[in-house]
Amino acid sequence: MGEFLSGAPAFGLVLSLAAYLLGDFARKRLKWAWLNPLLLAVLLVIAVLLLTGLPYERYIESAGLLSFLLGPATVCLAIPLYKRMRLLRRNWKAVLGGTLAGVLSSLLGVFALARLLHLNAVEYASLLPKSVTTAIGIGIAAENGGLPAVSAALIILTGIFGNLCAGLACKLFRVREPLARGLAIGTASHAIGTARAFEMGEVEGAMSGLAIVVSGLLTVVLAPLFAGMI
């Protein structure tokens, strides 16, 4: 079966889209908040690869179009931000301060975790970019001696966790300001979390999209400094 599917040039693309659509259908039908379409899609793809014996390298090659579209999709997040440009101008200090605080919290948290679990330099560097978007995080991991594949998996897990827990965290800590909620979600859980922010409101989604860019740039600058600490 694996050899047959290897000959289908778009198998990975079709499988990924079908798995996500099935996950989205399941969430809408069952209405379970924890049933994230992306998480279910990942599990379905893994199950298919294991059952068919299709090599991961062949799958990722045939799904290359999705990776290519990741960049343009991230850029499209600027559209709602443009619509809220006046809000950004009025609160630019809060945006920069809040995003910087989020990035430092993430990097310091990874450093503390690495010390606690006695992680080596490679594992530590792979974990550092967990809260930035995949397109940026993979590059950060590679430049600092980490494993890009491991970083990609951790980034996805971080995003899914943020998507699932964003609403609960805002309620638990009584964060009601839309700008603050958007910045926190985007800084902590990048594009996957931003999808949840858009469900909360347009301001939350716009600020979350902005936080992806700002936190990514800050992490590019600060990650090498933290990488040298272990």
Distance from CA of residue 225 to its chain's centroid? 22
Q: What is the mean pLDDT of residues 98-113?
A: 96
Q: pLDDT for 30-73, tens place per residue?
A: 877 677 888 889 899 999 989 888 888 888 888 878 877 777 87
Is residue 6 scored above 70 in pLDDT?
no
**Crossing angle for the helix pair 64-75 and 134-143, to the nearest 10 degrees:** 110
Tell me the mean pLDDT in the region 209-220: 90
Secondary structure of 73-130 in HEC code, one letter for each residue: HHHCCHHHHHHCHHHHHHCHHHHHHHHHHHHHHHHHHHHHHHHHHCCCHHHHHHHCCC
Residue 183 CA to residue 174 CA, distance in Å, equals 15
Q: What pLDDT does 137 receive? A: 92
Q: Report pLDDT digits (tens) over 62-101.
A: 887 887 777 787 677 677 777 778 878 888 898 999 999 9
Q: At what angle do helices 148-172 and 37-52 cross, to 10 degrees?
A: 150
Task: Provide mean pLDDT across the span 113-117.
Answer: 95
pTM equals 0.81
133: left (phi over 0), alpha (psi -120 to 50) or beta: beta
